[in-house]
Structures are given as C-alpha cells and as structure tokens.
Amino acid sequence: MSNISKKAVKRLASGSMKLNKGKYSVMTFSVILTTVLFSSFFTILGSVLSELRDSSMGQYNYLDPTAFLICVAALVIFIFSGYLIIYNIFDLNVVADMKEYGLLKTIGTSGKQIRSMVKHRARYICLFAIPIGLVIGCGAGGRLLPMIGRFINTACVNKGHVHMSIWIILFTVLFAYFTVAISSGKPCRRLSRISPVEAARYTGRVKKNGKAVSRRIPLVLSLTLSLVVLNSAYTIMSSFSTETFAEEYTVADFCVQDALLDNAGAKEKNVNAIDSTFLTELSMQEAAQKVGNLYLTHEDHVFSSEVWSGIEKRFFSDETVKMQIESFYTDEGYSVNAYLKEMHNKRTMEGNTYGISEPVAGKLEDVLTMDGTADIDWGKFNSGRYVIAERWQYASDGFLDIVCPGDKVEIRGREYTVYALADIPMLIEYPVYASIECSLILPEDEYLAVYGECKPMRTLIDVEDKKESSFEEWISSYTRNTSLSYTSKQSVTEDNKAFGDLFAIAGILVAVILGIIGVMNFGNTMIASVISRSHELAVLEAVGMTVRQQKRSLIREGLEFFTYTSVFAVLLSGIINVTAVKTLVDNLPMFSWKFSLTALAICLPVILVIILMIPAAAYKRISKRSVVERLRTE
C-alpha cells in the first residue's frame, strides 16, 4: 500500500492534537517551564555580559573560571531536568496513542512518516509554548537582575538593567527546542520500528521476560534533582552570616574613597578623590575619634647594585616568581631568562608608593620590623629616614619578600632604609596589581614632602560606638551628591544580605520549577499506569479483589517511588553538601558553611502526601466505569 501524503500526515497530527487538548496541554506546560528556565538564565547572563563589555570598552578582559563552570552546570541541569519531564510525557503519550499509530501503519503510513507526525506535534507545541515561556522567563530574569547588578563590578550607566538582544532570544529558542528534540527522539525511533499488530496490543515497553519496563529511574531522578537543588539552596542560605563578615571586611568603622576606585570595570581610577572640603567637614564631626589618610603614587623604583644582587638571589631565583613571569610577561620569542636579563640591566621594578598616617599604620598586617618586633614604632618610622616595604602578594607558601629590613631603597632621588615588611589590607590598598611589583610606604609627612601637596586616595575613620548611627546618616547624606562613596559595617551588611537573598531566591525558584517538573512526571506516570492497567485491575476486581485492596496496591507502588526518592535525595544532598556546596560557601567570605538537611525534612512529608493522593485520584477516575465496561476494553 502506498504511503499517505505529507499534507495528510500534518492534518492527522494537528487533528489528533485538537481532539486531545487536555493531554497535550500538559506537554505544552512542561515545555513552557523548560523555556522559562532557559530564558531567565540567558536574560541574566546576556545582560551581565553586556554590562561587562560596555564597561571594558568592547572587550571581556577576564572570565572567572568559577562563574563559567556555574553557567555550564546550570545549563546542564536545565537541559537534564527539561529532558526528564518532556521525554517522560512524550513516552506516555506514545503509549496512549499507540493504537492510533498502529491503525495509521495499517493504512500505509511509513515509519518515517510516523516520526514526522510526532515531530510535527513537538514543533506545534514549541510554536506556542516557547514564546510564552520566553516572555515569562525574561520577566523573571529582569526582576532578579537589579539584585544581581549590585554585585557586578562595572562602570555601566544602566547597571542592573535588562539588555535584551537577539542573541538572548536565539539561545533560548535553540536550547529549548534542542531539549524538546532530544526528548522526543527516542519515542519517535520506537514508533517507527513497531509493527501494526504490536501497536494494537501495546501497553508499554516490556523486557525480554515479558515484564513492563519500569519508569522508576527517570521519576526518582526527576524528584531527587529538585530536592537536592532545594536543599543546596537552603544550606547556602542558612550559612549566610553578615555580621561576622562585616567585622572581617571592614578595616575601619568607615572608609571613604572615589565611587569607582574599587570598581573592576572602571578603567580610570581617581587616586586623589578626598578633597579638603570633605576633610574640613569631617573635622567638625564630634563622633570621629581617629582619622587616617592613605595616599598613592604609581612609579618605578630604582635599586642599587648591592640591593639588586640580593633581590636576584632571594626573589628572582624562586620557582614561584619564575612561574608568574612566564604567565604574565613572556610570549613567543621572549623567555623568562630574557625578562630577568632585562630587569638585571635596568635594576628597576614597577610598584606604588603609599603615604600613610599613624591610624592607617595601625591597620597594617603581618608586620616584621628591623628590630624583630611585630609592631610599628611610629616615632621611629616617622623620623623621615625609613620606609615600609609591602610583602609580595603571590607567595604560595609563607612569605617571599623582595627587599629585607635594613636594605637601602631610593624614592625620587632620596635614600631610605627599609624599616619593616608588612601587608596593606586588601580592602584599602590600590585595587590594581601587577604580577611583579615592589610597593613602598612612607609616613604621611614625608610623603607630602616628597610629592608636594596632594589629595588622599582613601580616608579611614573610627567613631564612637554610640554615635555610629548618627555619623552614618551624616556621611551618607554628604556622599550622596558627590563622586565619593563609603563602606561601613552597616553598608557591608546590607549589601551582603541582598547577596544572600539573591542566592536564596534563585535557588528556591529553580528548585520549585524542578519540583513541579518532578511531581508532574510522577503524576503523569501514575495516571498513565493506572489507565493502561484498567483491564488488569478490572479482572482482579472481578475475581474478588476489593477496591480498598486495589487502592492499597497502587499506594504501595507510590510508596516505593517515595522510598527510593528519599534515600537518593538524602545521600546525594549529603554528598553535594560536603563537597560542591562547602567548596562554594568556603570561597564566599560572607558565608560560614553549616551541614543541613532541613529542607528535605520539610519537603519529603509534603511529597509523600502528594504521592499518596495521585494514585487514589487516578483509580477514582477509572472506577467510574463499571467492571464489565473495563473488561470489554482491550
């Protein structure tokens, strides 16, 4: 018999969908959910990349490997979760429509045309579902973006705003359609191989021994995935500790600087932002107990032959230093040895010269003076004959210093003795680093004598505890209409509370969507299973099995799913909690990792109730027909 025409295949596919709107609406809803995940993800990612590109003048100078891995992991999870539900629903619909496909094969429809019919239905669903999911997802991403924008270091004017582009739409459509395509591929292949006789008797896939193939694995995976994500999000949220972080993050009660100084996206950084007007207003505030200034000049430092010889023996001979040189300074035709030879001939090293006042000197860390003490004698240091050398920040094990206490160094033609080695806290030092650099620190008066009158880069302020709130009101009001910004314990706490909220909202949103997918998977499978076993259950009822016993049997089957889900969810959540989540939390200074399975303890009873209700509801649906009617149904 000849094959039917392509137009007829399309008409049959469309007509069948119109007659089974309820069944295909579930599939449409699943595609919408999957598209929401993709569109919200790409809206946020595209907008963030757009801001980074705008702030770096059209180039992405740095791509954080951790952020890249998180994006890849998110894509894999979204594709996998979408695959689980769409594949399962397609598979169930294939079972339900198998007799229809068998009849089509009987009248001459080829396997290829059957595949085309199923694919046409998938495309038809995508045509309606993807645009709806795209709109919802872009809206959800737009709502989350302002929160994310607070933690992006860019100098973009529209920071935290949605930057829609054709690429966001294309990637969303591509990944959503790709997920539908791979999910429908396996059922299509099975349909094309089945014979008309097998299709007429088909009630589901069976093993070689004749038993039905269990859907337990995809269902358990689907439910487990949502629980693991939810528990991980809850663990991150419960590990959040702003107060502890605020204490560690702030060097002084208040630190004032240019608003773009610590913004990684800003190319030009103003290191002379603290003007005399602010310092005058600050001096009138009774709450301010200690005020310290930090100055900066970027320049090369020249060393004598004797000191340079020590630097080469101690510093440039170290393998860690050579690795840094190879990573940052060499390219094709230029080796580490060539770099070292050039440095030997010049005897100069780039770096910064800082000027600090006494309150700032008290903030220096890892101090080692020429007297062997860990405290700076301000009177001695402020004599005008000494400098402090900043420790090299890339030392992999302990300290690796460029110069030593007692060495002679030169700044603008003046010779100084290295009084001490120290670290400037990362939170107040100049936020641009060279791989190989030597920074020196002068006392404030000597710095101004060398460089002339200039403005500080930062001003550190310690205030009375009781007056901290009133001082914050003043400094907030003062800096609001200027180019200055400030950090304080309160501002750090508020910013990082929003960061914790962002993690919680994003994690819970994804977990809820995955949870809906998991429950839908279970519900569809159980309902389809009960309907396909309608004849079997009718036979059992006819030979004496009571309705109550049949319900118990179905509920027992649901409990098996729940048991497997609970075991896998607890095991995987525990493993991921102590590995991936702990690693992430340990790299976030505002978090303190705490092992938790609380989310599972809350959600598993809810899932148990749902799992018990669905089989009973499905059985109630088929029991409306009499036993005789069900026995007559093949």
DSSP state string for 189-242: HHHHH--HHHHHH--S-B-TTSPBPP-HHHHHHHHHHHHHHHHHHHHHHHTB-H
Asked whether the beta carbons of 317 and 375 are under 8 A apart, the reply is: no
Pick the residue with more confidence: 570 or 611?
Answer: 570
Q: How far is CA 459 from CA 224, 258, 359, 620, in A?
A: 52, 10, 10, 74
Helix or strand or coil: residue 156? coil
Q: How far is CA 2 from CA 104, 113, 117, 160, 188, in A?
A: 12, 12, 17, 60, 21
d(CA 491, CA 246): 9
Residue 527 has pLDDT above 60, yes or no: yes
Q: Are both 330 and 194 inside the same structural domain?
A: no
The pLDDT tens digits of the residues spanning 265-292 come to: 677 889 999 999 999 999 999 899 999 9
Q: Are both 324 and 198 inside the same structural domain?
A: no
User: What percentage of residues in the chain have a pLDDT greater than 70?
Assistant: 65
Decide if 52 is inside a domain: yes
Decide if 443 is inside a domain: yes
Give one word for 384, left, alpha or beta, with left for phi > 0 and alpha for psi -120 to 50.
left
Decide if 87 is inside a domain: yes
Domain that holds residue 365: 271-482
**Residue 477's pLDDT band (cuts 50, 70, 90):** very high
Asked whether the beta carbons of 590 and 241 are under 8 A apart, the reply is: yes
Q: Are both 351 and 434 inside the same structural domain?
A: yes
Task: For residue 414, give the H/E element and its range.
Answer: strand 414-423
Looking at 463, 482, 501, which one is the last position of a domain?
482
**Range with the largest mean pLDDT of 150-154, 186-190, 256-260, 531-535:** 256-260
Q: What is the mean pLDDT of residues 295-307?
A: 93
Q: Are both 65 and 209 inside the same structural domain?
A: yes
Q: What is the pTM of this model?
A: 0.59
Pick the residue with more confidence: 20 or 293?
Answer: 293
**Range with the largest mean pLDDT of 63-72, 128-137, 291-300, 582-591:** 291-300
**Residue 521's pLDDT band (cuts 50, 70, 90):** low
- What was the pLDDT predicted at 498? 63
- What was the pLDDT predicted at 114? 73
Q: Are both 312 and 417 inside the same structural domain?
A: yes
Q: Are both 279 and 205 inside the same structural domain?
A: no
Q: What is the mean pLDDT of residues 348-361?
A: 94
Q: Are both 209 and 275 inside the same structural domain?
A: no
Decide if 431 is inside a domain: yes
Strands 386-390 and 414-423 come out as: parallel
Decide if 119 is inside a domain: yes
Q: Are both 286 and 380 inside the same structural domain?
A: yes
- What was the pLDDT predicted at 156? 46
The pLDDT tens digits of the residues spanning 79-123 come to: 776 676 677 667 666 666 666 666 666 666 676 777 777 777 788
Q: Are both 206 and 319 inside the same structural domain?
A: no
Among the residue ranges 236-245, 537-546, 625-634, the one predicted with the least confidence is 625-634
Q: How far is CA 417 from CA 380, 383, 410, in A?
A: 12, 11, 9
The pLDDT tens digits of the residues spanning 303-322 come to: 999 999 999 998 999 888 89
Q: Are both 205 and 73 inside the same structural domain?
A: yes
Decide if 157 is inside a domain: yes
Decide if 610 is inside a domain: no
Residue 210 has pLDDT above 70, yes or no: no
Q: Are both 187 and 323 inside the same structural domain?
A: no
- What was the pLDDT predicted at 518? 64
Q: Are both 206 and 336 inside the same structural domain?
A: no
Report the mean per-residue pLDDT for the chain. Answer: 77
Looking at 465, 482, 499, which one is the last position of a domain?
482
Decide if 180 is inside a domain: yes
Looking at 213, 233, 256, which one is the last position of a domain?
213
- What was the pLDDT predicted at 163? 59
Q: How many domains does the chain have?
A: 2
As a whole number of Å, the CA-based R_g of the chain is 34
- What was the pLDDT predicted at 35? 82
The pLDDT tens digits of the residues spanning 576-595 come to: 888 888 887 777 666 778 88
